[in-house]
């Protein structure tokens, strides 16, 4: 895909222009503003969006200790050898206090830290349902606009938000530990349904043929096709084949037909998020105006249930 360049005549905000020129520093600044919930950042994202659509976003999920970070490190190496620019987003949906897990990932990806073609970022969702997707979606726009070709998402938390991760990526890979029958059982049913690539990692350990057979059997039962592979992330065995398969899916993923439904979803969530923020403010203002009348204030203290309903009826009346 040919990457569009900003029209010199257009008035793109300076920070967005810096991101488009490939500045990791500007991208980090913008991401910090996204995480802090700065509403002004939406204008920058609007400037950036027309320049997105180049990156292929892949989620790499699986139980803790399955080898996700080690595998990602190997994939980065392969993609870099091919001249691609890579982003890694380690996201922790479960806990804002995830220093430990994220620190471990950082250590495993350390060798890439100084590479100007690799952008590594970790983030924790700050409470609230949908908080993770909101922040992650916006951050992905920044990474894509930065000109990264491959973006790898690693959930590091409890794995409860696997379905949330699935909605953010083009391709979903799941690491399955080898072991007679147990491996597949440790993977949640939802992921078995949605994943595109099943990676039996630690293929240096026993139980690999059994895990592969289990997965193939499971794939027979579902309607969508899936690809099964074996890797040893520790030595790099099989990582090259996996990287090549991912790249072979890239062109298909980037075609407009595939992008349109995701953009519509993004639009829906943006509109409801902006509308809700707006309504919340309006409602808060009306409540204060209502309570400013001493008589209402007294009545609300007498029976908050009755008065709350009355006020809501007034608010929703057309």
Ligand X SMILES: Nc1nc2c(ncn2[C@@H]2O[C@H](COP(=O)(O)OP(=O)(O)O)[C@@H](O)[C@H]2O)c(=O)[nH]1
Question: Which spans of this chain sit near ligand X (rule: CB under 6 A)?
Answer: 62, 64-70, 104, 108, 201-202, 204-205, 232-234
> Rounded to the nearest 5°, which phi and psi values hold at 5?
-110, 150
Shortest distance (Å) from residue 179 CB to Mg ion:
19
Nearer to ligand X, 147 or 173 (CB): 173
Nearer to ligand X, 73 or 194 (CB): 73
> 84-94 burial by CB neighbour count: b if 16+ within 10 A, else e?
bbbbbbbbbbb
Nearer to Mg ion, 105 or 138 (CB): 105
Nearer to ligand X, 67 or 147 (CB): 67
Shortest distance (Å) from residue 105 CB to ligand X:
6
Running DSSP on this structure, what letter comes out for residue 145?
H
Give the integer Cα–Cα distance in Å for 184 and 178. Answer: 8
Q: Check residue 18 for interaction with Mg ion (CB under 5 A).
A: no
Contacted by 205, from ligand X, Mg ion, none: CB < 5 to 8 Å by type:
ligand X
Give the integer Cα–Cα distance in Å for 181 and 212. Answer: 10
**Sequence-ordered list of residues with C-beta below 8 angstroms from that of 130, at least 6 positions apart, any chain:** 269
Chain centre to alpha carbon of residue 134: 9
Give the integer Cα–Cα distance in Å for 138 and 140. Answer: 5
Site for Mg ion in 85-124 (CB under 5 A): 105
Q: Which residue's beta carbon is nearest to the bound ligand X?
A: 67
Q: Kindly state the tokens that stand for 83.
A: 């001249």
Shortest distance (Å) from residue 70 CB to Mg ion:
8
Cross-strand bridge partners of residue 237? 232
Q: Check residue 69 for interaction with Mg ion (CB under 5 A).
A: yes
Between the two ends of the chain, the Cα-to-Cα distance in Å is 49
Give the integer Cα–Cα distance in Å for 165 and 154. Answer: 9
Q: Kindly state the tokens that stand for 288.
A: 């204060």
Contacted by 193, from ligand X, Mg ion, none: CB < 5 to 8 Å by type:
none
Shortest distance (Å) from residue 231 CB to Mg ion:
15
Q: Which residue's beta carbon is nearest to the bound Mg ion?
A: 69
Contacted by 266, from Mg ion, ligand X, none: CB < 5 to 8 Å by type:
none
Give the integer Cα–Cα distance in Å for 121 and 152. Answer: 10
Interface stretch with Mg ion, choices 44-52, 64-72, 80-88, 140-148 (CB under 5 A):
64-72
Shortest distance (Å) from residue 159 CB to ligand X:
10
Nearer to Mg ion, 43 or 107 (CB): 107
Running DSSP on this structure, what letter comes out for residue 110?
G
Q: Where are the alpha helices (DSSP H) in the chain?
A: 14-20, 24-36, 41-48, 68-81, 99-108, 131-145, 162-166, 182-185, 189-194, 208-221, 239-254, 256-291, 294-302, 304-316
Nearer to ligand X, 68 or 250 (CB): 68
Nearer to Mg ion, 54 or 122 (CB): 122
**Sequence-ordered list of residues with C-beta below 8 angstroms from that of 17, at least 6 positions apart, any chain:** 6, 47
Nearer to ligand X, 174 or 307 (CB): 174
| Binding residues vs Mg ion (CB under 5 A) | 68-69, 105
């Amino acid at each position: 895909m040919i990457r569009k360049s900003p029209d010199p005549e257009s008035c793109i905000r300076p920070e967005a222009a810096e991101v488009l020129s490939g500045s990791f520093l500007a991208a980090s600044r913008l991401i910090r503003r996204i995480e802090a919930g700065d509403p002004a950042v939406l204008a920058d994202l609007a400037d950036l969006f027309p320049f997105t659509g180049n990156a292929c976003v892949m989620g790499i999920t699986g139980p803790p200790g399955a080898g996700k970070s080690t595998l990602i490190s190997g994939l980065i190496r392969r993609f870099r050898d091919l001249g691609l620019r890579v982003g890694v987003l380690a996201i922790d949906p479960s806990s804002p206090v995830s220093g430990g897990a994220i620190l471990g990932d950082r250590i495993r990806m350390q060798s890439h830290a100084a590479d100007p073609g690799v952008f590594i970022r970790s983030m924790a969702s700050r409470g609230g349902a949908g908080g993770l997707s909101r922040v992650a979606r916006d951050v992905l726009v920044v990474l894509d606009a930065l000109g990264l070709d491959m973006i790898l998402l690693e959930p590091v938390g409890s794995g409860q938000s696997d379905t949330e991760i699935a909605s953010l990526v083009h391709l979903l890979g799941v690491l399955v530990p080898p072991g007679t029958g147990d491996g597949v059982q440790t993977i949640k049913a939802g992921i078995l349904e949605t994943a595109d690539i099943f990676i039996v990692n630690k293929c240096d350990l026993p139980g690999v043929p059994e895990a592969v057979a289990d997965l193939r059997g499971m794939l027979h039962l579902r309607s969508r096709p899936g690809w099964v592979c074996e890797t040893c992330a520790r030595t790099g065995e099989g990582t090259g084949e996996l990287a090549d398969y991912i790249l072979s899916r890239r062109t298909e993923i980037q075609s407009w037909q595939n992008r349109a439904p995701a953009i519509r979803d993004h639009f829906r969530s943006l509109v409801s998020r902006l509308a809700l923020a707006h309504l919340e403010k309006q409602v808060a203002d009306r409540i204060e105006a209502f309570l400013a009348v001493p008589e209402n204030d007294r009545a609300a203290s007498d029976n908050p249930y009755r008065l709350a309903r009355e006020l809501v009826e007034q608010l929703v009346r057309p």
